[in-house]
Amino acid sequence: MDAASDPSLRHLRVFEMVSRLQGVRKAADAVHMSQPAVTQAITKLESQVGATLFERRSKGTYLSPEGEIFVARIRLMFAQIEEALGAFGVASTKVRSLAMVAERITRPQIRGLSAIADGRSFADAARKIGISQASLHRAARELERNLGKPLFHNTASGVITTRGGAELARRLSLAMREIEWGVEEIQAAAGVRGGQLRIGALPLAGSFLLAPVINEITRMFPDVQVQVRTGDGALLARSLQLGDIDFVVGMVRASVDPAEIEQEELVSSPYVVVARRGHPLTRKSRLSLSDLERYEWIAPMAGAARRAAFDELFNTMKRKPSANVETYTLSTIRLLLEDSDRLALLSRFEFEYEKGAGVLTALPILPIQKEHAVGVSRRVKWTPTALHLTFLDLVRRHAAKIAAQNAPKRKAA
């Protein structure tokens, strides 16, 4: 659903009112519109959604099965808008409730606020959403007056959103996603095995967990559109908060805000010290920390989940070795180790993945007690669609399979 065909919030309010009062006339009185205008609004909305939302009978107008699906999402959307306004500091008074403030907000105002928050200037924002600067400025100032709180401030580079304004833009944009998910759920109920799945993949996740899940879900949902973004943990966590992605799959991180992001640990893996095949240390049957001190190391990047275990290992050494190269890219680590006597710290999963190239070997040292966990992250207070729930189930099942394959084997009695 593109911007040109997006349902207006006014039409969505009319739809919700008709569904609640079960009649066009009652809804028309409640929203101060004529009955023909209400009927026209519903007809246009049904065309935009691609489904019949009501069943018209002599005793009233009742939601169809598709309407029941859609109204649940729309009510979630309106609840999130009011919650966002409350968090922004819009006060509810005897003469003006949050619901009344929300009723005056329009779709173009939300789109404009989000574009300004994402861009560097009003000109950039106007180009992004395809309207004139004058129209964008008018919509932005109307929203600001309605809320009764400043959304923008002047800087040397131009007008930008305040910190509170940027957070409001994020939360309102997330609320708008409920419309898209409602349409996807209607299509799923009609047998369309599609929808959009936006996934963030931290290093390693795509190699050993995410790829088989994507292969399976695309077989189950032939019309699904899957987008996979890669990046560091902080970047993907921000994209998750913004609603640009639905899940992050990869190493569980301690630095995320549990009030915003829920992390589910799925499988853990110990760390191993690795080197090239034929490395001098491979000739020993058991190594000590002093053996590891004599060689250069490849360090994980600061902020990487592996970095804490690396630092802890180095802190136990009497003479800290050199580690003048930092990277979290597995292919780079493998190439650096292949042509040198450097050492590196990898998770067992990473090592098993790279071992297939026949270049690396795990050194015989006592297990490093600290382990890392791989899991899936999603936004708190989010209602996933059936597609999202299926993806989540597949991730859990594949993680359980990997955990079983890597569990220590019991020796026969």
Question: Following DSSP, what letter does each residue of 209-229 receive, concatenated?
Answer: IIHHHHHHHHHHSTEEEEEEE
Half-sphere exposure in the Cβ direction for 365 (13 Å, CA): 23
Token pair of 88, please? 């922004």
65-94, pLDDT tens digit by residue? Answer: 999 999 999 999 999 999 999 999 998 888
Tokens 């999202």 belong to 388
Half-sphere exposure in the Cβ direction for 370 (13 Å, CA): 14
Distance of alpha carbon 393 from its chain centroid, rounded? 17
Comparing 239-248, 345-354, 383-392, the range with the smallest average pLDDT is: 345-354
272-319, pLDDT tens digit by residue? Answer: 899 999 999 999 888 888 888 989 999 988 877 778 888 888 888 888
How many CB atoms are located within 10 Å of the residue 269 CB? Answer: 22
CA distances from 92 to 87, 148, 168, 175 (A): 12, 12, 17, 20
Nearest to 305 by CA among 343, 349, 261, 335: 349
CA distances from 147 to 84, 86, 109, 154, 345 (A): 11, 10, 12, 19, 53
Tokens 């007056």 belong to 145
The dihedral sign for the CA sequence 251, 168, 186, 60? positive
- Cβ burial, residue 121 (10 Å; 0-12/13-18/19+): middle
Dist. CA 235–CA 218, nearest whole Å: 26
Nearest to 194 by CA among 399, 9, 44, 50: 50
* Structural domains present in the chain: 3-171 (1.10.10.10), 192-266+374-405 (3.40.190.10), 270-370 (3.40.190.10)
Q: Which residue has the higher pLDDT, 206 or 355?
A: 355
238-275, pLDDT tens digit by residue? Answer: 899 988 999 999 878 777 889 999 999 998 878 889 99
Tokens 């005793």 belong to 59
Q: What average pLDDT does range 117-131 have in this prediction? A: 83
Dist. CA 143–CA 152, nearest whole Å: 11
Question: Following DSSP, what letter does each residue of 76-120 receive, concatenated?
Answer: HHHHHHHHHHHHHTPPP-SS--HHHHHHT--HHHHHHHHHHHHSS
3-state secondary structure of 310: helix
Nearest to 145 by CA among 201, 178, 96: 96
CA distances from 316 to 299, 370, 406 (A): 16, 13, 28
Q: Which residue has the higher pLDDT, 129 or 23?
A: 23
Highest mean predicted confidence (pLDDT) among 24-28, 287-291, 352-356 = 24-28
Q: What's the CA angle centered on 357, arms 352 and 360, to 5 degrees? A: 65
Tokens 């090239």 belong to 276
How many CB atoms are located within 10 Å of the residue 385 CB? Answer: 19
Tokens 């109920």 belong to 189
Q: How many residues does the chain have?
A: 413
Q: Is the pLDDT of residue 412 over 80?
A: no
